[in-house]
Chain A
Amino acid sequence: MGILDFLKRRPEPTATVARERLRIIVAQERSSRGAPDYLPMMRNELLEVIKKYVHVDIEAININLERDSGHEILELSVTLPDGKKKPDAGDAATAS
């Protein structure tokens, strides 16, 4: 690094970006590892049901399967949008 380097603009360190992206994807893939095959399908069906009442994206539905000694916990969380409004009849029909 020379003296003139002070004049150059420093970009964001890309290693930090890589680390954060990996943290998220690895955690996500670990949680679905060894989980039953029906989980993604169940997630889609749940989305269809929820959509009848609230407008949510598939990303808003989080399914987590946790194994403890002896029992399993299926955790389902849905992030609701700010303005919770019922879709009109037309939307409900296409969702069904």
Chain B
Amino acid sequence: MTAEIIVVTSGKGGVGKTTTSASLATGLAMAGKKVAVIDFDVGLRNLDLIMGCERRVVYDFVNVVHGEATLKQSLIKDKRYENLYVLAASQTRDKDALTQEGVEKVLDSLSEDGFDYVICDSPAGIEKGAHLAMYFADKAVVVVNPEVSSVRDSDRILGLLASKTRRAERGEGQVTQHLLLTRYNPARVAIGEMLSVTDVEDILGIKVVGVIPESENVLTASNNGIPVIVDTASPAGQAYSDTVARILGEERPLRFIDVPKKGFLQRVFGG
């Protein structure tokens, strides 16, 4: 049994890749899967902070690639879920520290160690780090915001996934593409200030696998170093749970895409 490799990518920065990687990995672990989540953003590591394990990083991804530490020494076991592991990016090396062969070796070792899923948290851009994060992927989660530059960049990424991956090069079939719309604000969509789910789906020609509403819980979760999916009471956490279930093959209707109905008094007096 080989591990399924899922890249979380977007092209544009700041759209929620790391937030998504952390919640996706945690959600799969909550479903009983053995999961490793790897930060590919060498020089700008942040996944450790979002996962709340920043003080336990001893060895990192680059150390493993260069044989300076074993994979076992470098994987950080999650505090909440024992079948979840984090592999941090190096903070001191430059972005050329990763090699294609080195990344392949690490992914193969994780597969041999019985991991079900490996989540690759891609850096922004389309340079080497982003290329390596997507190269070995079986599935891709393309994170997009309902905003012009993010939509355009994600179309570029969808094009790269179809041509610059191992699957594409070997003719082993397409990387499965999942579009995840984040920072969605139904109230602004309703008054025509923000692109809707349908708009984004139509422009990119692909259906969404989930819609994560803009939510204050995301910041609270990152402040605390707890992936937002753990906060099962929050809309964003629930939307991520739905997304993970859909990636696992379950059918669930989209939630949090409509404005909550206002009461009579609110409608008359505003607010």
B193, A22: Cβ atoms under 8 Å?
no
B189 within 8 A of A: yes
Closest residue of chain B to A2 (Cβ to Cβ) is B270
A4–B195 alpha-carbon span in the complex (Å)? 27
Partner-contacting stretch, out of A25-33, A46-54, A65-73, A84-92: A25-33
A26, B192: Cβ atoms under 8 Å?
no
A15, B199: Cβ atoms under 8 Å?
yes
A21 within 8 A of B: yes
Q: Which of A13, A14, A22 has the most CB of B within 10 A?
A: A22
A5, B151: Cβ atoms under 8 Å?
no
B214 within 8 A of A: no
A1, B267: Cβ atoms under 8 Å?
yes
Chain A residue numbers with a CB within 8 Å of B196 are 15
Closest residue of chain A to B159 (Cβ to Cβ) is A33
A16, B192: Cβ atoms under 8 Å?
yes
A9 within 8 A of B: no
- Evaluate whether A5 and B270 lie within 8 angstroms (CB atoms) in the complex, with A26-B204, A30-B155, A34-B163 already known: yes
B255 within 8 A of A: no
B152, A2: Cβ atoms under 8 Å?
no
Known: A16-B192, A30-B159, A34-B163. 4 other contacts (CB 8 A): A13-B193, A18-B147, A18-B199, A26-B203
